[in-house]
Chain A
Amino acid sequence: MQIEKNAVAGTLESSDAMVTVEPAENGIELDISSSVMNQYGRQIRATVLETLERLDVTSGKVTVVDKGALDCTLKARVECAVFRSCDKSAAGIPWGGVIR
């Protein structure tokens, strides 16, 4: 997928994460801040990058403000933001396909 416009998903509540995606060229530019950076920063980065790869997003600016979200929440927020950026989040989601 290609990030077509700016889109956001998630909140800044505890246990959630707010993910912002913006169109960009030349690969993924990832910015992470987290309330649990010391212990989980690397895992958060890995989860976000894996999710983007699964969605075949190769370029874009991705900002994650994490408030202690579990991996399943991080995935859901990244996916939703990317689908929103393409106006494809409302219906026909490939559940069990690239969303897994």
Chain B
Amino acid sequence: MKNAVGREIPDFLLENGKEVYQGKNYMDGKYVQKASPKTRRYEKPQESKIVETIKDALIQCGARDGMTFSFHHHLREGDFVVNMVMKAAIEELGLKDLTIAASSLGAAHDLIADYIEEGKVIGIQTSGIRGRMGQVVSEGKLKTTAIIRSHGGRPRAIEAGEVHIDIAFVGAPTSDCVGNSRGIGGKSNCGSLGYAMTDAKFADHVVVITDCLVDFPNMPASVEAIDVDAVVVVDSIGNPKKIASAAARISQNPRDLMMAENVAKVIASTPYFKDGFSFQTGVGGPSLAANLFLEKYMDEQGIKMGWAIGGICKPMVELLKKGKIGKVIDVQDFDLDAVNSINQTPNHFEMSASQYANPANKGAFVNKLDFVVLAALEIDTGFNVNVLTGSDGVLRGAPGGHPDTAAGSKVCIIVTPLVRGRMATVCENVVTVTTPGDCVDVLVTDYGIAVNPLRQDLIECLDKAGIEHVTIESLKEKAYSMVGRPDPVQFEDKVVAVLEARDGTILDVIRQIKPFTFED
């Protein structure tokens, strides 16, 4: 069945009330029955929940074949936790048929690719999937169909019971002996623990893994002891160098800067750019650089940003410290400046993934967002964006908060170079639709700006400000005139992953890759 972005969704996926994507806000007003976990009572006072090893924690939580383990990705490419836990479960306890439900996975988890090939891990639910894991899943080696969700779609699915977490693992930079956990104060600091919060509330069991045990009570806690079954102290939960980059430097690439300047120009031309406006930006080169130019416009017009959300890094923290932003609320921190600021700098707060982006709660932060600036691997002439699959069709990205912020915000700006090497970023049909075109408003490239025809109001704003813009078709033609028209990527029939829209409908499917041959 074809969905609202023109993707063919196989019928076998449309069981148990699963629907195809119907367009933005389709689920608005519907009711949801929230799931509740089955948790153990610890009525008798406990001095400590510390157990010796991860294996002990697994045994205490009744780990067995076929369970679903959840993880969060604040330790990013420095994360040791996923591998440690899976190794203990598979190699020490001999468990199999396990499913990993993570907020994101990366190249740090190449080891899991082996467990997938061995059939020990049979399910993957995540936002990001990269490296060897992306490769083996794309090759069809995962026993079940992987599920890709956005950062808002994940807590929605957890709350609705579509994902039942048997054991949630919280990699905590600090914890006390009963599991009050924080993202700061230790040696592997990551700042916010926002993605772990929903997991801790909805999992049957919660295990905190820390490399820095601190005195009770570790306050204010991001994950609370009342939800934690066991605490394991290990030597190291991650490589600090890869958890937080020293400081996300604003790009000096002239192409990025040129695009960033145009992004700021577009923002400043809209009526939403007024005192107290709200903003989120990705951490890609041009998106981040937009901060710099935006500040100039804010100063010129004598206005301040009311609040900013998102994954946070240095440029945003600096604006906060300069008093140019009222409040920063974040779900994840990307560099040391952000890590050292959250819950320390006045008006820099932590939030859960549900609070950030869940479409099924009663109003996430993204719903009140004025502007979001995002990157894209590909964007097609229907303004559909792909941030998940590469030009070879292999899984190597993450929807992250992209679809959530695009849908919630008043103005969603995609900024990307027209071509990357020989890849046309602006194309006829994206390989995978991760953010539907009805949520995307403006495209800024190094060859010009295009506005979604759905947004006549923005077209008027740009015209009034004298900002030149062209059709997205003409940008696509320009790209193809430079790099040539691409051959369509070839796939096998087998569906290896389902891409859920944030509301839980099916936005797209990813099929098994077909090795390239010169024969047609």
Chains A and B in contact, CB within 8 Å: yes
Is the CB of B486 closer than 8 A to any CB of chain A? yes
B501 to chain A, nearest CB (A): 26
Chain B contact patch, size range: 10 to 19
- Find out whether the CB atom of B421 lies under 8 angstroms from the CB atom of A38: no
B427 nearest in chain A by CB position: A39
Note all chain B residues with C-beta closer than 8 A to A70. 422, 482-483
Interface residues contributed by chain A, number (CB under 8 Å): 17
> Of B421, B484, B488, B489, which contacts A43 at CB under 8 A?
B484
Q: A45-B518, A71-B484 are in contact. Are A38 and B393 (CB under 8 A)?
A: yes
Q: A70-B482, A71-B484 are in contact. Are A38 and B422 (CB under 8 A)?
A: no
Note all chain B residues with C-beta closer than 8 A to A41. 487, 516, 518
Note all chain B residues with C-beta closer than 8 A to A26. none
Is the CB of B347 closer than 8 A to any CB of chain A? no
B424 nearest in chain A by CB position: A39
Is the CB of B228 closer than 8 A to any CB of chain A? no
Note all chain B residues with C-beta closer than 8 A to A71. 484
Is the CB of B353 closer than 8 A to any CB of chain A? no
- Find out whether the CB atom of B421 lies under 8 angstroms from the CB atom of A68: yes
> Of B391, B420, B518, which contacts A39 at CB under 8 A?
B391
Note all chain B residues with C-beta closer than 8 A to A43. 484, 487
Interface residues in B385-414 (C-beta closer than 8 Å to A): 391-393
- Find out whether the CB atom of A36 lies under 8 angstroms from the CB atom of B391: yes
Interface string of A9-32 (1 = CB under 8 A from B): 000001100000000000000000
B393 to chain A, nearest CB (A): 7
> Of A14, A15, A39, A68, which contacts B487 at CB under 8 A?
A39
Sorted from nearest, which 3 A-B pairs have the closest CB atoms?
Answer: A68-B421, A39-B486, A68-B422
Q: Contact residues of B with A, CB < 8 Å?
A: 391-393, 420-423, 482-484, 486-490, 516, 518
Other A-B pairs, 9, CB within 8 Å; known A37-B516, A38-B489, A39-B487: A36-B391, A36-B423, A38-B391, A38-B487, A39-B423, A39-B486, A40-B486, A68-B421, A70-B482
Between A and B, 25 residue pairs with Cβ closer than 8 Å are A15-B422, A35-B421, A35-B422, A36-B391, A36-B422, A36-B423, A37-B516, A38-B393, A38-B489, A38-B490, A39-B392, A39-B423, A39-B489, A40-B422, A40-B484, A40-B487, A41-B487, A41-B516, A43-B484, A43-B487, A45-B518, A67-B421, A68-B421, A68-B422, A69-B421
